[in-house]
Amino acid sequence: MSRKIRRQFDGSFKSKVVIESVKSGTNYECSCNQYDYDGFLVNSWSTTSTNPNDCYSSNFFIDCNTTSSTDNFVDVPHDTDGAVTVESAKAFYGLDFNDPNNKNVVEIKGTNHSKVTNDVRTKNALNDLFLGKKDPWFATRTKQ
């Protein structure tokens, strides 16, 4: 399976990236030959089916065989900020997004992974962190 990365944008301008594809089924190509009473070929055709049993015929004068199969895949889009998937960001050590009282989670709406470094709200969140407002363990002395 090849990994595809493709960005998709919906109406709310959330970015989506396709990093995986899941198998959704298989197509079988059937090649059939029809013969007359003397064994001469009168007709040939190919068809595609999702069931390999469709490639066989109970008619004595028709011979069908599965010649190839192709797996079908469906792309699975994931929400992203343009660089990191939401699943990856939520799995970051120490963050529990399901806990509404978690003081370690700071949501900065309206920004993305690339713009967050220049966002004043990032500055404020980091100041709160290093002044010990989020957790005293992170408190650092200010410059004199």
Residues ≥6 apart with Cβ < 8 Å to 30: 46, 47, 48, 49, 54, 55, 64, 65, 66, 67
Tell me: do 69 and 97 sit in the same domain: no
Tell me: do 37 and 67 sit in the same domain: yes
Q: 28: which 2 tokens? A: 């079988």
The whole-number pLDDT of residue 11 equals: 41
Q: Which CA distances in Å does 99 have to 34, 67, 117? A: 67, 55, 26
Q: Residue 64 falls within a domain, yes or no?
A: yes
Q: Residue 2 falls within a domain, yes or no?
A: no
- What's the pTM? 0.39
pLDDT tens, residue by residue, 27-77: 889 898 999 889 899 999 888 888 888 877 777 788 888 888 888 888 888
Any idea which residue has 């709310």 for tokens? 12
Domain range for 59 is 7-75
CA-CA distance, 112 to 114, in Å (whole number)? Answer: 6
The whole-number pLDDT of residue 81 equals: 67
Any idea which residue has 């004595």 for tokens? 60
Q: How many domains does the chain have?
A: 2
The whole-number pLDDT of residue 43 equals: 92
The whole-number pLDDT of residue 13 equals: 42
Last residue of a domain, one of 75, 104, 123: 75
pLDDT tens, residue by residue, 96-105: 666 666 666 6
